[in-house]
Amino acid sequence: MDSAAAIAAAAPPEQASAPVNLALEGMTCAACAARIEKALNRVPGVEASVNFATESARVHYDPSRANPRALLAAVERAGYRAHVKRDVSAERRDDVARKLAAYRTLRREFIIAVMLTLPLLAPMLAMLWRGALPVGSESADLLPRWLQFALATPVQFWIGRRFYVGAWRSLRGGGANMDVLIVLGTTMAWALSSVVTVLGLNHQHVYFEAGAAVITLVLLGKLLEARARAGTSAAMEGLLRLQPKTVRVARNGTTVEVPLEEVVVGDRVQVRAGESVPVDGIVREGQSSVDESMLTGESHPVAKAPGAFVHAGTLNQEGLLSCEATGVGDTTLLAGIVRLVAEAQGSKAPIQRLADRVSGVFVPIVIAIAVATFALAWWFGREGTQALIDAVAVLVIACPCALGLATPTAIIVGTGRGAQIGVLIRNATALELAGRLKVLIVDKTGTLTEGKPEVTDVLPADGTARGELLCVAASLEQGSTHPLARAIHAAARAANVVPRPLVEFVLAAGKGVHGRLAGTDGEAMLGSLDYLAEQGMVADAATAAGLHRAGKTLVGVAVAGRMLGLIALADRIRPTSAAGVARLRQAGIDVVMLTGDNAATAQAVADRVGIVEYRAGVLPSAKAEAVRGLKSRGIVTGMVGDGVNDAPALAAADVSFAIGAGSDIAIEAADITLMRPDLGAVVDAILLSRATVAKIRQNLFFAFVYNVLGIPLAAFGLLHPAIAGAAMAASSVSVVGNALLLRGWKATH
């Protein structure tokens, strides 16, 4: 079936029981995400997962116990804001505009903060050149203290107001986040310095520069982080930009240019050379070649002629095409891809659980460490103001942002990169598990082969006409969508054979069919030679063996207990199958072929593509049992298929792959959809998974090591708060930057 229909089927319209996606506002760190997630999961009948990097929540709820209003209210009670996401494309466009406006505001505030903070830091820099002046001496203050107060106060309360707002929301909701740490630390430094200044205690040092520098550096970190995080979703934004804003449509006998939003199904759309296709549709007039690499990852252009399908976002390279729109807006393949990837980017990988548990209790623990640092430093004779500054450094450096960004940023970039190469990953769990596969089970028809068998031989028995054999076979296969049935019908049409009406019909799944035909005495049967042998009808062994050795599939036909003859069919092996199997073996994955075909045909195909282990004569239910058997031995098992009969096995596998041109049932059951009918795409998905998980582990290592090293250094008085603020900002930026390296990932061939 067409890929667009398959993707649309995989993402049905929202219903009361469907998952709800919430866009969240006000989060500043991983602790915020943990707080919102806990608040949502307290609502009866709700299971929620919050993603800090995408600022979104995916919620499953029982409609008899909860509703979207209750979800939004829970987020509000936690101290944050939310709204329900609707149209994916419009939501992303609004999100981009909102983030751009927030980025510009943040940049403006950062510039003002720098201008106010640099004079405060100038004495510190001068002291590096001149040598430290005695603390407490008036000459140590190169700027009058009232001027330091005047410069630091707007930075603290105007530029830094976002931290106070965020801290209040978090505390009001019963939690504590990064903003609480920053507000506690910088406010203590500002308050101490202000008291010393107002009371004229010249023997005491002031720390106006510490609080102002921390706020400025945190803003710098957020600015760089926002810029870097915008790059994580660049793949999806690029896909959305593929559609033109205006479309040439034939209306009332003339061609007019209208906004894309006004195009409806059935419109005739003109696409000129060099233009992007605006809708999904069927070519009615014209011939051209279309670049579909942005959707499938396939670099070679695809020829298009009347009757061919085209998809929104692809590029018409030459010639004028007139297409009838079959999918517009959210019903296009492009929108389906964006929807599936957005869902995957909002999901959580199992590897993230440790980070979530740490983030949930991190802030209270840090506050306790800061209090202990102050108390112990004072107890062991350290000056009170210096003990307070040590505590401030602990509060500032212990930001859980890097921990919260470590996993989701890598998942966002990884799934986006997958979409660019034609690999659509349904969720983060599949992305993580794909890299751990040890065994991949592959179906033969439609996976290793092209799935378009053709009748090669019609062999009637003595006393039976060729047309009679085709007539009975085509009659029994009426209504079937199986590839073999379509091939038999095509052969019958080519021979001008008209099928007879079916009076009775019984299907033996995976074996054959039998029934009664109008005008025929006795029961008619069609199926595998083993199936007919069970009924007492045996084909000529020598003839059958020769055809099997040639890799052909045999179908026997009988009426009233008498064999009418054999029909041989052949399905071409995909040119890429042998290379795909070789790449899988190089990646350390064992490949097992399962097929309902006979052993001789299975062996012929296995030999040609390089598969050592295969099983023939396997019924659809047995395929699922084979998958469960491997899983029961603790082997991470994958399954790739394209047909309806593959769905049970796909559902049973740890990770399942569906060929994008296959059935909607197979795609619905699969964890990863391959837009290219190529086994090599499975290898690309596995290698991308391994690269993404490697980035996640690197990020978690960086985040944990940063906190494990930074907090003790600050507690022992070895870090000035300003340096701690710079280190905290650098940690978040480094984690996001490391994840962004995945944008340049390329599969090895």
Residue 35 and residue 56: Cα distance in Å, rounded?
A: 13
Residue of 737, 49, 56 lying closest to 409 (CA atoms): 737
Q: Do residues 490 and 454 touch, judged by C-beta distance below 8 A?
A: yes
Rounded to 5°, angle at Cα 176 from 25 and 22: 25
Q: Do residues 294 and 239 touch, judged by C-beta distance below 8 A?
A: yes
Bridge partners (DSSP) of residue 638 are 440, 655
DSSP per position, 370-393:
HHHHHHHHHHTT--HHHHHHHHHH
Q: Which two tokens stand for residue 319?
A: 């010639």
Q: Which two tokens stand for residue 118?
A: 């640099």
Residue 605 and residue 599: Cα distance in Å, rounded?
A: 10
CA distance readout (Å), 705 to 363, 407, 715, 726: 17, 15, 16, 16
Q: Do residues 220 and 728 touch, judged by C-beta distance below 8 A?
A: no
Of 330, 443, 654, 684, the catalytic one is 443
CA distance readout (Å), 439 to 54, 436, 583, 613, 650: 33, 9, 13, 11, 14
Residues 6+ apart with CB under 8 A from 45: 61, 62, 64, 65, 66
Q: Identify the residue whose tokens are 């993603």.
A: 51
Q: Do residues 481 and 489 touch, judged by C-beta distance below 8 A?
A: no
Residue 533 and residue 535: Cα distance in Å, rounded?
A: 5
Q: Do residues 240 and 87 touch, judged by C-beta distance below 8 A?
A: no
Q: 3-class DSSP state for residue 253?
A: coil
Residue 267 bears catalytic tag: no
Residues 6+ apart with CB under 8 A from 631: 637, 652, 653, 654
The enclosing H or E element of 188 equals helix 178-199
CA distance readout (Å), 671 to 193, 487, 547, 650: 58, 30, 37, 8
**Residue 453: exposed, middle, or buried by beta-carbon count in 10 A (0-12, 13-18, 19+)?**
buried
Residue 206 and residue 153: Cα distance in Å, rounded?
A: 13
Residue 26 and residue 82: Cα distance in Å, rounded?
A: 9
Residue of 348, 295, 426 lying closest to 54 (CA atoms): 348
Q: 3-class DSSP state for residue 642?
A: coil
Q: Do residues 40 and 74 touch, judged by C-beta distance below 8 A?
A: yes
Q: Which two tokens stand for residue 200?
A: 């004229």
Residues 6+ apart with CB under 8 A from 465: none
CA distance readout (Å), 686 to 42, 218, 747: 36, 38, 10
In what side-by-side order are the strands of the sheet with 315-316? 302-304, 288-291, 315-316
Bridge partners (DSSP) of residue 310 are 281
Q: Which two tokens stand for residue 139?
A: 């000459």
Counting runs of H as helices and runs of E as strands, what totals does the chain give? 26, 26
- The backbone torsions φ and ψ at residue 630, rounded to the nearest 5 degrees and listed phi first, read -70, -40
Q: Label residue 510 left, alpha or beta by phi (over 0 means left) and psi (-120 to 50 means alpha).
A: left
DSSP per position, 721-734:
HHHHHHHHHHHHHH
Q: Annotated active-site positions, please?
A: 443
